[in-house]
Amino acid sequence: MALGTIRGSSGRDMASKGYKGTKTLKPTQLSYRERLDRVISYLHAHLESDIGIEELAEVACLSSFHWHRIYTAMCGETVATTLRRLRLQRAADRLANSNLPISTIARLAQYGSRDAFSRAFRDAYGKAPGAYRQSGSHATFKAAISSKSANGFVVSIAHRPAVRCISVPHVGSYLKIDAAMAKLFGSMEKSGMLLQDTPMQAVFYDDPDLHAEEHLRSAACTPWPDALEIPADTEELVIPSGRFAKLEYKGPYADMRNAYRWLYGVWLPSSGFEISDRPGFEIYLNSPVDTKPKDLRSNIYLPVET
């Protein structure tokens, strides 16, 4: 249900690498990180608007020439690439989970024509929008739901210990949790506590089929060693210990909703397990910055009890 920017190990790995959290950014680096955070928040809030480089430069309080070079260097992709990736992800969600006309989805994604949108979508997702709506990975789960097939996907059961995390809460569409993920890693970087393989995780508290999208509660998080202080602008979050059902998911984040519907509506009733009141969570095994949507890998953890 989410996306992030950095791939992961564990909090224990951070400690074993001698990571003490004592390295802090210089004032100039801190200033640029704060400006970057402002722009990233602005991008996520205005994806369905026409956003120009000059407009973003004003948000960053830098010239457009310098701002774009700084953004590209710090984020690993251009502003245009970020916007295209996020807009197409939102479009994929609408194709998989709504009946909006493709022309409307194209317009909301800021494409001037359906043909231009179709070309961009096919390049990113491997299918034209209409074909994706009919046969994307969400369709596989829909078919399993329709046939009540509990054996169509592999689910494993394991006990997991409690994990202390740092987190940034998010309220709103689960697909927009990437904004909270960016804030989380921005806070870690400002504190000098960000590793290249920092893991991406998210905890989800509400059912998107029962609650209005604008009220959905979640949190972007990453494991954090007990010996380290909680960075500024983040909160401590403990994922409780217990038994979890794990579904290894491959495909676009936008298609995950039907994976959850299959887990809850088909697999769980036939499994012999009861659902627990602990929150479920996801662990992201690669990054959408350098991975095609169809090749994204995530582990979905459903809390269960016997």
Q: Which residue has the higher pLDDT, 104 or 191?
A: 104
Query: At residue 228, does pLDDT exceed 80?
Result: yes
pLDDT of residue 30: 56
DSSP letters, 86-141, are HHHHHHHHHHHH----HHHHHHHTT-SSHHHHHHHHHHHHSS-HHHHHHHSHHHHH
Mean pLDDT of the 182-187 span: 85
Which residue in 60, 2, 27, 18 sits closest to 225, CA to CA? 18
* Radius of gyration in angstroms for the set of CA atoms belonging to the chain, rounded to a whole number: 20
Q: Note whether 109 and 119 are within 8 A (CB).
A: no
Q: If we measure between CA atoms, which residue out of 129, 208, 139 comes closest to residue 175?
A: 208
Q: CB-based burial of residue 275 (10 Å sphere; 0-12 exposed, 13-18 middle, 19+ buried)?
A: middle
Once rounded to an integer, what is the mean pLDDT over residues 134-157?
Answer: 90
- Quote the crossing angle between the two packed helices 79-97 and 64-75, to the nearest 10°: 60
| Residue-level pLDDT at 109 | 94
For 103-118, what is the mean pLDDT?
95
Q: In this model, does residue 269 exceed pLDDT 70?
A: yes
pTM of the full predicted structure?
0.79
Give the tokens for residue 262: 């299959």
> What confidence tier does 91 reach under pLDDT thresholds 50, 70, 90?
very high
Does residue 37 or residue 268 have the better pLDDT?
A: 268
The superfamily CATH assigns to domain 155-305 is: Regulatory factor, effector binding domain (3.20.80.10)
pLDDT of 190 higher than 80: no
CB 235 within 8 A of CB 169: yes
Handedness of CA 242, 255, 155, 284 (dihedral sign): negative
Q: What is the largest CA-CA distance in the chain?
A: 60
Q: What is the mean pLDDT of the chain?
A: 85
Centroid of chain to Cα 50 = 23
Mean pLDDT of 249-275: 93
3-state secondary structure of 201: strand
Pairwise pLDDT comparison (266 vs 64), residue with the higher score: 266
Q: By the 8 A CB rule, do 262 and 179 touch?
A: no
With H, G, I as helix, E, B as strand and everything else as coil, classify residue 194: coil
**pLDDT at site 22:** 40
